[in-house]
């Protein structure tokens, strides 16, 4: 799968799912107890399935003509109880809307708003990557997520 085809679709799909709808599933979940978000366009389908809330695990998968071609696994959540989870996740959704084709994994490298700061560091490219994002409130880390993924090669 060519990066030039995959990256624009992936960015569009990510912007149209979690940052827009939050924890409201867009389809009936295939896995009991999960939240499932989907977005499709032409020959592509994006599916994000995750379990949990304050702490969660999940996987995003992109299908092309019904065949899985790219995936990313992730796990993360709130750290401690010093920050309001609703405020942190609302800020996180705003940060994730700024995902770019150059860095289509999660959000941008950094976003700041009032007392919250989002940071995203990664290594690799769309074909093979890993990374971590954090949110700090008043300089104290209150959220963290680790992710990894890449192209699926049969």
Distance (Å, whole) CA 137 – CA 117: 7
pLDDT tens-digit map of 70-126: 999 999 999 987 889 999 999 999 999 999 999 999 999 999 999 999 999 999 999
User: What is each CA distance from 104 to 51, 64, 73, 77, in whole angstroms?
Assistant: 22, 17, 14, 20
The structure tokens listed for 11 are: 């960015």
Summarize pLDDT for 28-53 with one digit per residue, the tens: 898 999 999 999 999 999 999 999 99
Q: Spell out the domain ranges in the chain.
A: 3-151
* Entry pTM: 0.92
Number of residues assigned to the chain: 154
């Amino acid at each position: 799968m060519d990066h030039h085809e995959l990256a624009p679709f992936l960015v569009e799909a990510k912007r149209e799912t979690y940052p827009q709808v939050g924890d409201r599933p867009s389809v009936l979940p295939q896995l009991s107890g999960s939240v499932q978000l989907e977005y499709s366009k032409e020959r592509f389908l994006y599916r994000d399935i995750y379990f949990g809330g304050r702490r969660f695990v999940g996987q995003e998968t992109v299908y092309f003509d019904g065949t899985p071609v790219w995936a990313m696994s992730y796990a993360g959540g709130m750290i401690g109880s010093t920050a309001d989870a609703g405020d942190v996740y609302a800020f996180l959704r705003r940060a994730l809307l700024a995902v770019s084709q150059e860095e289509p994994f999660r959000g941008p490298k950094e976003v700041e708003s009032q007392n919250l700061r989002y940071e995203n560091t990664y290594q690799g490219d769309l074909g093979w990557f890993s990374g971590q994002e954090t949110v700090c409130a008043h300089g104290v880390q209150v959220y963290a997520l680790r992710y990894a993924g890449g192209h699926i090669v049969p």
